[in-house]
């Protein structure tokens, strides 16, 4: 399953068109549940793909998380001279377990980003309820704060 997801991610990264400012590929960190690396590939000013590879330190059986989300940005909710878009999206999470099988779930993502003027970074805070389907059903919650540098 992980190999199929990596093939899909590679295909997306090789076939989408890059747009100007707040665009391209960004890499950074996310702190929270889980903590790890965050990647973002902007499709336009209004949507992007977000990837994360993290590790959970908070639960009895520590776990690796791999997530991919499709995000949409709304710039009209906060009236400011700064770019402070609210974002939302849908995605998937694969979670490996030290003591048993991996799990799969669908995520809903909500958050707030800050795109500083003339600096190629974004700072974000997000919450993502996860609806687990495999191996059993349930609800989980991912949340974090992070920063990414953009290589334009």
pLDDT digits 0-9 by tens, 91-116: 999 888 766 677 889 999 999 999 88
* N-terminal to C-terminal alpha carbon distance within the chain: 32
Which DSSP symbol is given to 117? T
Report the pLDDT value the prediction gives residue 26, as an integer from 0 to 100.
92
pTM, rounded to two decimals: 0.77
The reply to whether omega before 34 is within 30° of 0 (cis) is: yes
Provide the residue count of the chain: 152
Structure tokens at 9: 């991610």
Residue-wise pLDDT tens digits, 30-39: 998 889 999 9
Domains of the chain: 2-151 (2.40.160.20)
Q: Are 133 and 106 in contact (CB under 8 A)?
A: yes
Which DSSP symbol is given to 115? B
């Amino acid at each position: 399953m992980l190999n199929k997801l990596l093939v899909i991610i590679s295909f997306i990264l090789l076939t989408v068109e890059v747009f100007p400012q707040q665009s391209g590929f960004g890499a950074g960190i996310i702190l929270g549940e889980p903590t790890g690396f965050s990647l973002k590939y902007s499709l336009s000013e209004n949507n992007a793909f977000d990837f994360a590879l993290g590790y959970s330190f908070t639960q009895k059986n520590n776990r690796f998380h791999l997530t991919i989300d499709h995000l949409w940005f709304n710039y009209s909710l906060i009236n400011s001279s700064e770019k402070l878009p609210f974002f939302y999206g849908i995605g998937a999470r694969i979670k490996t377990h030290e003591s048993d099988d991996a799990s799969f779930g669908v995520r809903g993502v909500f958050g707030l980003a800050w795109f500083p003027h003339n600096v190629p970074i974004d700072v974000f805070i997000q919450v993502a309820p996860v609806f687990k389907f495999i191996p059993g059903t349930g609800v989980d919650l991912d949340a974090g704060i992070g920063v990414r540098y953009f290589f334009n």
